[in-house]
Amino acid sequence: ACGSEEPELVQNGQLALGTYSQISVYAPTTSKGEKAIEAAFTQVTTIENTLSTSIENSDVSQINLNAGTAPVQVDEMTLDVIHAGLDYYSITKGTFNIGLGSLIELWGIGQDWQKVPTDEEIQEAKQHIDLSNIEISEKEVFITDPHMLMDLGGIAKGYAVDEAVGILRSNGIESGFVNFGGDVYALGNKSDGTPWRIGIQNPEIGESGVIARMGLTDKAIVTSGDYERYFVENDVRYHHIIDPETGYPSTNEISSVTIISDKSMDADVLSTAIFILGLEKGLDLIESLEEIQGVIVTKDRSVYISSGIKNEVEMLDSNFSIVN
Ligand code: FAD
């Protein structure tokens, strides 16, 4: 571009990864923008077809179907995401576990069969979440325990955002906004040269406003909360983030965890893990990791902000207050 023409805003969205996924870009021409977005969504579809547990011939479904029986030859992408998932287990002190499929299936949060399982069922499923049962060779993955299932729902969306951003960049896009059901990436700046302004949602059920916002450039931002995928039984709310230690949806003082990082995959995983870890350990983990920032909102409407972004978060809702 010669710099004098106004870039075109091009947007498109589709249902993908179990959510509405949207990409907006500023491109030199509409057709260049459309082409870049289409290339990104083509890759997202490939990712979904490879990593989904609800698509029967995906790599992950095949790994699960063959658990206890046979190794499955998989795509390089699958190996990459599984290796990343396994690495996160120790970083997150065992709270992020890609082998929780049996428990996730049992609870079925968001599925037709969602219900509170019996404690016996939960204790039984918990016997089958040990990651040492996942064997990986150069091209194959084998779950040795026939009752164990893999679930990449807490990591694959972040991976998909990173891949989409990479494809936009390689198509010459320098400014854009990717939002796959709340996993957001702010690519470059807005066309006026100022950072993208991203809001943090009010985590309370029935509330839809934004409680805070901050400017971001070339950063991923992901929020995990208990307010989006859940069901209520006997006045108790059961959400979709399972504490591997108990086998139940995690319970602590946290309402939502927002993580800001360079890679969406890191933010996706860490937001989930810190939601389980709780406030104190969660804040410690954020501070211990380079390049990772975060905002934790607790049920008493306190807002905790990591040291690297203290001055960048703008509060918009006076019912919530920064305490640290
Ligand atoms: P996050 O907090 O990022 O992740 C929560 C999800 O991680 C849970 O839903 C569970 O899958 C998993 N999880 C829970 N506890 C843990 C834990 N302790 N450690 C590790 N992981 C954990 N949804 C549909 O309704 N239908 C679909 O067909 C469908 N297909 C999908 C295909 C792919 C490839 C992906 C990535 C997602 C798909 N989803 C689908 C959505 C998926 O089921 C999850 O709900 C979604 O990924 C959760 O993202 P989140 O950002 O809301 O929550």
In the numeric block, the tokens 């428990």 are attached to: 103
* Shared-domain flag, residues 315 and 206: yes
Can you spell out the DSSP letters for 138-172? SSEEEE-STT-----TTTHHHHHHHHHHHHHHHTT
| Whole-complex ipTM | 0.95
Residues pairing with 26 in the sheet: 9, 175
Q: Is residue 152 part of a domain?
A: no
Taking residues 30-54, report their average pLDDT.
98
The phi, psi pair for 122, rounded to 5°, reads: -65, -45
Domain that holds residue 87: 55-143
* Shared-domain flag, residues 20 and 79: no
For ligand 1, say whether the CB of 151 is within 6 Å of any of its atoms. Answer: yes
* Shared-domain flag, residues 268 and 130: no
Tokens of 176: 């854009």
- Residue 2's pLDDT is 52
Q: How far is the CA of 136 from the centre of ligand 1 (A)?
A: 23
* Shared-domain flag, residues 215 and 173: no
DSSP, res 111? S
Q: How confident is the model at residue 4 (pLDDT cuts 50, 70, 90)?
A: low
* Shared-domain flag, residues 212 and 286: yes
* Shared-domain flag, residues 70 and 122: yes
Count structural domains, the chain.
Answer: 3
pLDDT tens track for 249-276 = 999 999 999 999 999 999 999 999 999 9
* Shared-domain flag, residues 250 and 278: yes
Q: In angstroms, rounded to a whole number, what is the distance separating the alpha carbons of residues 58 and 50?
A: 4
Q: How many helices (H) and strands (E) does the chain have?
A: 8, 17
Taking residues 269-287, report their average pLDDT.
98
Mean predicted lDDT score pLDDT of the chain: 96
Say whether pLDDT at 46 is over 70.
Answer: yes
Q: How confident is the model at residue 8 (pLDDT cuts 50, 70, 90)?
A: very high
Taking residues 169-195, report their average pLDDT.
97
Q: Is residue 151 part of a domain?
A: no
In the numeric block, the tokens 């991203």 are attached to: 198
Q: Which of 157, 242, 276 to mutate to test the pocket of ligand 1 (most atoms within 8 A of CB)?
A: 157
| 271 Cα nearest atom in ligand 1 | 2
Rounded to two decimals, the pTM is 0.96
CA-proximal residue: ligand 1, atom 23 (nearest): 18
* Shared-domain flag, residues 49 and 176: yes
Q: Cα dist. 67→72, 196, 218, 322 in Å?
A: 9, 44, 39, 47
Taking residues 19-34, report their average pLDDT.
97
Say whether pLDDT at 1 is over 70.
Answer: no
Q: In angstroms, rounded to a whole number, what is the distance separating the alpha carbons of residues 77 and 99?
A: 18
Say whether pLDDT at 206 is over 90.
Answer: no
For ligand 1, say whether the CB of 249 is within 6 Å of any of its atoms. Answer: no
